[in-house]
Each structure stands twice: as C-alpha cells, then as structure tokens.
C-alpha cells in the first residue's frame, strides 16, 4: 500500500513537474503573442496585441505579460489569467525592447528614434526619467539589485550605465559593431553585451565599468558567413550561458567560469531571442525566419522539438 | 636503401607536381577592389597605402589577385562602386556601416590631438579649457561644423570662432591631399589639430618638425558620440560567402596586417576592450 501510494505520489509529482510552464512568443508579423503549452508543445492560444510586437517581459508575480508594440508606440499589458490586453504603458515612439525592474515597479525602454532611454513607473503609467544616449538605443537591462540600468546603442557601438533613481548616465563603454542585448549576471557583477555585426559578446565588470572578456563567436564559426549574437540567457547559478546567433541558426553555450564556447545547438533560422524554462531543464529559441520555436533539452544537450508558429517569432519568455 | 629513398623522393616530388598542376586553376582568381588612387596613407595608384598592402595580404591568403577599380572616395562611393557592382570589396570602412556587409574588424583607431612636440601642450581632453585660446584645426566633410565627430564635439562646446576646417577630400591636385592639416600644425598656422589616427600617425612619421599625438578624450563624447572606430572591409549585403572568406583571411593574416599598421604608424586601440 505504501509502495502504491508512493508510486502514485511520485507519478503525480512528476506529472506536475513535467511541464507546468507556458511559453509566450511575440510575432512581429502576425501582431499576436503565441501561447504554447510547455507539456504538449502545442500552440493553445494567440493573444492579439498592438502592431509589431517584439520585446516581452513577465512581472515578478508572474501574473502580467508586457509586450512592446513598436508600430503602436506603446507597451501592452496582458493579464495572463484571461490572456487579454487590459491596458498599456506610454513608452515613447517605437519601443523595441524593455526591461522590468526586479521589484516590478518600473520598466526601462529604449526609444530608438530619439536616442533616449526612458524609465517608466508602471503604477504611475508615466515617464520618470529620460536619459540621452548614443544613436539608436536597443537593448536594456536592470541589475538584480535594481540599482543600475544598462542600455546598448546600436550605431554608436556603446553600452550606457544609467542610475535609475536619477536618470544620470554614469558610464559609457565602447564595444563592437551593433550591440543588441545586455544582461547582468545573476550576482550582478558582470554585464554581457552581444554585438550583432561584430559577432562577439563583451563581458563588462559592472563595478569597474570596463571590458574584462570578449567572446569571439564569429571566429569560432569560421565557415559561417553570418554570425549574429543577440539573445543572452544565464542559469541562476551562472554555470551556463546561452547566446542566440540569429541567421547562423545556432545557439552557443559558453562556460562563464572560463568564457569558453562549449557547444553549439542547431536551431531554426534567425534565432534572435532565447529563454530558459523556470526549472532550467529547457531552452527555447524564437526563430524569426523559419517561423518556429526550437526546444533544447539541457540535460541531454539536444534539440528535442520544434514548435511551428508561423509568422515571425521575435522574443520568447516562459511563465507558469 | 639509399636508392629506394631517392626513388621514393622522386615519386613524391612527381606526385606533388601532378597534384599542383591539377589544382592550379586555368585562370587565377581575381578580387575586384575599389580604392582611391590618391588618398595616402590609405591607398594610391602606386599601391603605396596601408589599405593596398592589407587587401593584397588578404587576397594572397584567398589565393586571388587584386584587380583595382580606382575611384576617388566621394559622395555615392559605396552606392555606385560597390553596390553598383564595379567592384566586390571596399577596404577601410567603419565596422558599423549599414549599407554594406562588414567583415570582422582588423584595427581600431581614434581621433587624436596633434601638436608640435616643441610646445608644452600635453592635450588629451576635449574639455581642456586651453582649447578656448588655441587655434584648432579639424577635419570636415562639408563646409558646416556638424559632420566629423570632433567637429561636432567642438561645436557642442561652443568652440567655433577659433576652429579652422580642413576638407577630408583635400587638394586632389597634390599627391597627399590630406596632408595640409598636419602641415598647418608643423608650420604653426594652427596650434593643434584633431585628426583621425591613421592620418596623424602617417604624416607625423614624415614630418620635418616632430609632432606629438594623444587620443581624444572622452572616447565617447556625451551623450553618445564615439571618437574611436573599428575598421572593416565592406562587401555587398548579398555577398555573405565572400565576407566569410575575407574573415578567414583576415584571421590568418593578422600578424602581417599588424606589421603593416605599425609600419605606417597607425595609432591603435585594442580590438577587444
């Protein structure tokens, strides 16, 4: 009896652990967010949002999805329980990506056309600070303690560190051509910046504000004519780092202990952005030109599925 | 034993000769390169510029001969020469040039202050208050002050009356169109010049009066105007395979390329930080 109960418990537990997650994918062509069930890997819903949705973010309480709708010039607020747009945040023109503060109270948005980085209060629904930066700001990040925001400028080839309390630009770091995504390491000590044209990832010491490592991914793929590092994801223990490589149709894995490239995963075409599952057993990549999501099993280090969404997947986030 | 060795040797030589003959293409491959015939230190028709030397190293690495398409670098250069199909490669473009596909960078340089070494100026910052009292030469594309990054940075600080512009196209009737801004520092017509590094490095090597150079600070003029640039080669956006080949050649020829850059006095910043 006890054995049976235990078996039942284990099976219940493993069923629950199986894939209690939902994958959200912005589609810049179809103007929807695709909702994929983590267990069945089926598209179970499509949420209509404003025109040209790209950057996505989930609130810390996992109840709200924010969607940067570039051509609608706003950030839509989606209630994840009802899967409906319940309102929007003012973002300034053409928001492409944004980052949420760790406490969920603010977002930082790059306003590409105006060379500004805006910090917006979510409750207040208005702009708290605007900071001028280099031309064509793109990627943004909040440090884990919420004390630093970072932004890349695509044509100035710069990474800007900004104090979110004052809106002051506190440091400007030059990196390679066309920087895209910035991500702080889980401990906040390092800031990684991917450069799409240069084909490298720059690792910046967040305290010293200088580059400490350059991961030359293009040089590691000499036969590949186009290597476009964009999306960056870390495991919480900072043992594994993943980088989406765009039209190289790969995701690179880097060991943050020595900054060596460990392996490449063959994913769909134009893999801009990537996301880890909450249990860190899976990595998902949004493939814009093949219109699908690649599912990587991180225990087996293998692609285990491809979920066709159609359209042009751009960003991917994972929620409960 | 000795005879067998010699026979083997002969066989190996013969095999190598046969393989070599089989591998040799009927006609050598040609890399069509657009270059300015009168733009030292970058390129000239005598192939005496450092970009001539570097593209020839790259072509040699690729097993190709360089065929130059000579064109003065003027408005429309990229559009007509490269994208119009006259040539396949443009050496010496900024790595973030959007109208082409750029290769991996082969050097990074900076705008530099240049002054006569016999004057105790030791300039390094655009914010140095002494710049208000000096005559400053700056490179310009047109006849306004808003084009090259240093011209823009000076204008932003209200430094206009004491700034003298030197056209980057220069006097094309001479064999060194871009030299006048450096000659003006040597001759004392201006106190200091702010010049793109490779130009300053090359002409200071050949100066009659010793010149001092220092990279312009801040390296990014607030809020986001860089004074340093990575330099790549450009190919058409549809030529990704050629870019891949040039990338491999640039990596293979790195030590030789570095020697050329050093020989021409190009002030370099690290490509990795």
pLDDT at A14 over 90: no
Find the DSSP H helices in chain B: 2-23, 50-61, 149-156, 180-187, 197-205, 240-252, 254-263
Q: Which residues of A touch B (CB under 8 A)?
A: 115, 131-135, 153-158, 160, 169, 172, 174, 176-178, 197-199, 210-212, 214, 218-219, 222-226
Q: How far apart are CA B246 and CA A225, in angstroms?
A: 10
Residue pair A75/A97 in contact by the 8 Å Cβ criterion? no
Measure A214 CA to nearest chain B CA, in Å. Answer: 6
pLDDT band at A3 (very low <50, low <70, confident <90, very high): low
**What's the mean pLDDT in A80-95?**
94
Best mutation target, A114, A132, A157, to test chain B (most B CBs within 10 A): A157
Q: How far apart are CA A273 and CA A263, in angstroms?
A: 18
**What's the mean pLDDT in A129-152?**
97
Which residues have CB under 8 Å from A158's CB, separation 6+? A133, A134, A152, A172, A173, A174, A175, A179, B220, B224, B226
Q: Which of A177, A210, A222 is opposite residue B95, by nearest beta carbon?
A: A177
pLDDT band at A145 (very low <50, low <70, confident <90, very high): very high
pLDDT at B6 over 70: no
What is the per-residue burial (b if ≥16 Cβ within 10 Å, else e) of A66-78? bbbbbebbbbbbb
pLDDT at B236 over 60: yes
Q: Which of B98, B228, B247 is opposite residue A222, by nearest beta carbon?
A: B247
Q: Is B99 on the interface with A (CB under 8 A)?
A: no
Question: Where is A74: in which H helix or E strand?
Answer: strand A74-79
Residue pair A179/A199 in contact by the 8 Å Cβ criterion? no
- What angle do the packed helices B197-205 and B180-187 form, to 10 degrees? 60
Residue pair B157/B126 in contact by the 8 Å Cβ criterion? yes
Inter-chain touch A197–B95, beta carbons under 8 Å? yes
Q: According to the model, what pLDDT value does residue B169 have?
A: 79
Measure B128 CA to nearest chain A CA, in Å. Answer: 20
pLDDT band at B13 (very low <50, low <70, confident <90, very high): very low
Inter-chain touch A156–B226, beta carbons under 8 Å? yes
Residue pair B180/B171 in contact by the 8 Å Cβ criterion? yes
Sort out which chain B residues have CB atoms less than 8 A from A210's CB and list them: 273
**What's the mean pLDDT in A197-218?**
97
Q: Which of A17-31, A260-274, B254-268 has the lowest mean pLDDT?
A: A17-31
**What's the mean pLDDT in A242-250?**
98
pLDDT at B2 over 80: no
Inter-chain touch A224–B218, beta carbons under 8 Å? no
Going by the DSSP 8-state scheme, the letter that residue A71 receives in this structure is G
The structure tokens listed for A227 are: 């290597």
- The percent of residues in chain A predicted with pLDDT above 90, rounded, is 91
Residue pair A316/A285 in contact by the 8 Å Cβ criterion? yes
Q: According to the model, what pLDDT value does residue B134 have?
A: 98
Residue pair A251/A240 in contact by the 8 Å Cβ criterion? no
Q: According to the model, what pLDDT value does residue B147 have?
A: 83
Residue pair B112/B203 in contact by the 8 Å Cβ criterion? no
Mean pLDDT of chain B: 89
Q: Is B247 on the interface with A (CB under 8 A)?
A: yes
With CA atoms as reference, the chain A residue closest to B248 would be: A222
pLDDT at B1 over 70: no
Q: Is B241 on the interface with A (CB under 8 A)?
A: yes
Q: Which of A10-19, A126-135, B97-106 has the lowest mean pLDDT?
A: A10-19
pLDDT at B8 over 50: no
Q: According to the model, what pLDDT value does residue A287 have?
A: 98
pLDDT at B15 over 70: no
Measure A146 CA to nearest chain B CA, in Å. Answer: 22
With CA atoms as reference, the chain A residue closest to B239 would be: A225
Inter-chain touch B220–A156, beta carbons under 8 Å? yes
Q: How far apart are CA A278 and CA A188, in angstroms?
A: 19
Measure A175 CA to nearest chain B CA, in Å. Answer: 7
Sort out which chain A residues have CB atoms less than 8 A from B104's CB and list them: 198-199, 218-219
With CA atoms as reference, the chain A residue closest to B231 would be: A177
Residue pair B130/B157 in contact by the 8 Å Cβ criterion? no
pLDDT at A291 over 80: yes
Inter-chain touch B241–A210, beta carbons under 8 Å? no
Greater confidence (B7 vs B249) lies with: B249
Inter-chain touch B224–A156, beta carbons under 8 Å? yes
Helix, strand and coil content of chain A, in percent to the nearest 5, comes to 10, 50, 40
pLDDT at A12 over 50: no
Residue pair B126/B204 in contact by the 8 Å Cβ criterion? no
Greater confidence (B158 vs B10) lies with: B158
Inter-chain touch B223–A174, beta carbons under 8 Å? no
Residue pair A94/A113 in contact by the 8 Å Cβ criterion? yes
Per-residue pLDDT of B123-156, as tens digits, reads 999 999 999 999 999 998 865 444 899 999 999 9
pLDDT at B75 over 90: no
Q: According to the model, what pLDDT value does residue B26 have?
A: 52
Which residues have CB under 8 Å from B55's CB, separation 6+? B31, B33, B35, B66, B89, B91, B233
Inter-chain touch A197–B248, beta carbons under 8 Å? no
Q: How far is CA A20 from the centre of its chain?
A: 20
Distances (CA, A) of B156 to B64, B113, B181: 47, 17, 22
Sort out which chain B residues have CB atoms less than 8 A from A132's CB and list them: 222-224
The total number of residues written for chain A in this structure: 320
Q: Is A81 helix (H, G, I), strand (E, B) or coil?
A: coil
pLDDT at B22 over 60: no
Measure A222 CA to nearest chain B CA, in Å. Answer: 6
pLDDT at B23 over 80: no
Inter-chain touch B225–A197, beta carbons under 8 Å? no
The structure tokens listed for B258 are: 């570095």
Residue pair B200/B214 in contact by the 8 Å Cβ criterion? no
Q: Which of B230, B243, B272 is opposite residue A177, by nearest beta carbon?
A: B230
Q: According to the model, what pLDDT value does residue B111 have?
A: 97
Beta bridge partners of A46: A34
**What's the mean pLDDT in A143-165?**
97
Measure A139 CA to nearest chain B CA, in Å. Answer: 15
Find the DSSP H helices in chain A: 2-19, 217-220
Q: According to the model, what pLDDT value does residue B171 have?
A: 82
Q: How far apart are CA A259 and CA A245, in angstroms?
A: 16
Inter-chain touch A156–B244, beta carbons under 8 Å? no
Sort out which chain B residues have CB atoms less than 8 A from A212's CB and list them: 273
Give the DSSP letter string of A166-233. Answer: T--EEEEEE-SSSEEEEEE-TTSSEEEEEETTTTEEEEEETTTTEEEEEEEHHHH-TT-S------EE
- The percent of residues in chain A predicted with pLDDT above 70, rounded, is 94
Q: Which of B105, B224, B272 is opposite residue A153, by nearest beta carbon?
A: B224
pLDDT at B16 over 90: no
Q: According to the model, what pLDDT value does residue B142 have?
A: 61
**What's the mean pLDDT in A75-99?**
95
Inter-chain touch A198–B104, beta carbons under 8 Å? yes
Beta bridge partners of A161: A150, A171
For tokens 């130009």, the residue is: B199
Region of B140 please: left (phi>0), alpha (psi -120 to 50) or beta.
beta
Q: Report CA torsion sign: A34, A36, A41, A44.
A: negative
**What's the mean pLDDT in B80-106?**
93
Inter-chain touch B224–A218, beta carbons under 8 Å? no
The structure tokens listed for A88 are: 């929007």
**What's the mean pLDDT in A280-295?**
98
Residue pair A132/A162 in contact by the 8 Å Cβ criterion? no
Q: Which of B96, B219, B244 is opposite residue A225, by nearest beta carbon?
A: B244
**What's the mean pLDDT in A39-68?**
97
Measure B12 CA to nearest chain A CA, in Å. Answer: 31
Per-residue pLDDT of A173-206, as tens digits, reads 999 999 999 999 999 999 999 999 999 999 999 9
**What's the mean pLDDT in A4-21?**
54
Q: How far apart are CA A191 and CA A227, in angstroms?
A: 21
Strand order in the sheet with A84-90: A53-58, A64-69, A74-79, A84-90
Q: Of A119, A231, A157, give the one whose Cα is nearest residue B225.
A: A157
Which residues have CB under 8 Å from B38's CB, separation 6+? B44, B45, B72, B172, B175, B177
Q: According to the model, what pLDDT value does residue B107 have?
A: 97
Q: Of A92, A105, A76, give the one whose Cα is nearest residue A133.
A: A92
pLDDT at B27 over 70: no
Greater confidence (B173 vs B273) lies with: B173
């Amino acid at each position: 009896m006890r054995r049976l109960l235990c078996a039942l418990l284990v099976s219940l537990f493993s069923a629950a652990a199986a894939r209690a997650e939902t994958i959200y994918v912005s589609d810049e062509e179809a103007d929807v967010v695709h909702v994929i069930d983590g267990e069945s890997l089926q598209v179970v819903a499509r949420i209509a949002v404003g025109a040209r949705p790209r950057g996505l973010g989930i609130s810390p309480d996992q109840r709200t999805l924010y969607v940067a709708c570039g051509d609608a010039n706003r950030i839509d607020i989606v209630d994840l329980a009802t899967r409906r747009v319940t309102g929007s945040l003012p973002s300034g023109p053409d928001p492409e990506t944004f980052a949420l503060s760790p406490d969920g109270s603010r977002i930082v948005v790059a306003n590409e056309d105006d060379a500004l980085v805006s910090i917006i209060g979510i409750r207040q629904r208005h702009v708290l600070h605007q900071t001028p930066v280099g031309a064509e700001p793109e990627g943004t990040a909040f440090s884990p303690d919420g004390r630093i925001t970072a932004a890349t400028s695509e044509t100035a080839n710069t990474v800007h560190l900004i104090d979110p309390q004052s809106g002051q630009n506190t440091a400007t770091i030059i990196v390679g051509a066309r920087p895209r995504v910035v991500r702080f390491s889980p401990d906040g000590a390092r800031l990684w910046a991917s450069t799409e044209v240069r084909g490298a990832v720059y690792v910046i010491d967040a305290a010293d504000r200088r580059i400490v490592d350059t991961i030359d991914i293009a040089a590691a793929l000499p036969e590949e004519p186009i290597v476009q590092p964009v999306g960056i994801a870390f495991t919480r223990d900072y043992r594994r780092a993943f980088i989406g490589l765009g039209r190289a149709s790969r995701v690179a894995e880097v060991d943050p202990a020595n900054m060596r490239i460990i392996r490449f995963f063959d994913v769909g075409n134009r893999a801009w952005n990537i996301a880890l599952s909450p249990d860190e057993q899976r990595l998902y990549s949004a493939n814009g030109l093949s219109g699908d999501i690649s599912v990587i099993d991180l225990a087996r280090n293998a692609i285990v599925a491809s979920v066709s969404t159609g359209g042009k997947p751009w960003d991917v986030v994972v929620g409960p | 034993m000795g005879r067998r060795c010699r026979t083997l040797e002969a066989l190996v030589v013969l095999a190598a000769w046969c393989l070599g003959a089989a591998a040799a293409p009927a006609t050598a491959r040609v890399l069509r390169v657009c270059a300015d015939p009168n733009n030292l230190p970058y390129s000239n028709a005598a192939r005496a510029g450092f970009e001539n030397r570097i593209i020839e190293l790259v072509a040699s690495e690729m097993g190709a001969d360089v065929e130059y398409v000579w064109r003065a670098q003027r408005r429309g250069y990229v559009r007509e020469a490269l994208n119009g199909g006259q040539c396949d490669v443009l050496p010496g473009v900024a790595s973030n040039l959007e109208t082409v596909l750029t290769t991996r960078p082969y050097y990074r340089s900076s705008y530099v202050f240049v002054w006569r070494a016999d004057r105790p100026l030791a300039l390094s910052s655009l914010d140095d208050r002494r710049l208000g009292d000096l005559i400053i030469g700056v490179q310009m594309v047109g006849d306004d002050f808003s084009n090259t990054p240093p011209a823009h940075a000076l204008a932003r600080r209200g430094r206009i009356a004491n700034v003298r512009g030197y056209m980057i196209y220069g006097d094309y009737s001479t064999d060194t169109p871009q030299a006048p801004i450096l000659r003006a520092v040597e001759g004392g017509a201006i106190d200091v010049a702010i010049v793109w590094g490779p130009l300053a490095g090359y002409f200071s090597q050949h100066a009659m009066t010793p010149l001092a150079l220092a990279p312009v600070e801040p390296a990014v003029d607030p809020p986001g105007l860089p004074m340093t640039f990575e330099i790549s080669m450009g190919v058409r956006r549809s030529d990704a395979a050629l870019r891949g080949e040039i990338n491999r050649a640039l990596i293979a020829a790195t030590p030789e390329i570095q020697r050329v850059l050093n020989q021409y006095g190009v002030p370099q910043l690290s490509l990795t930080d």
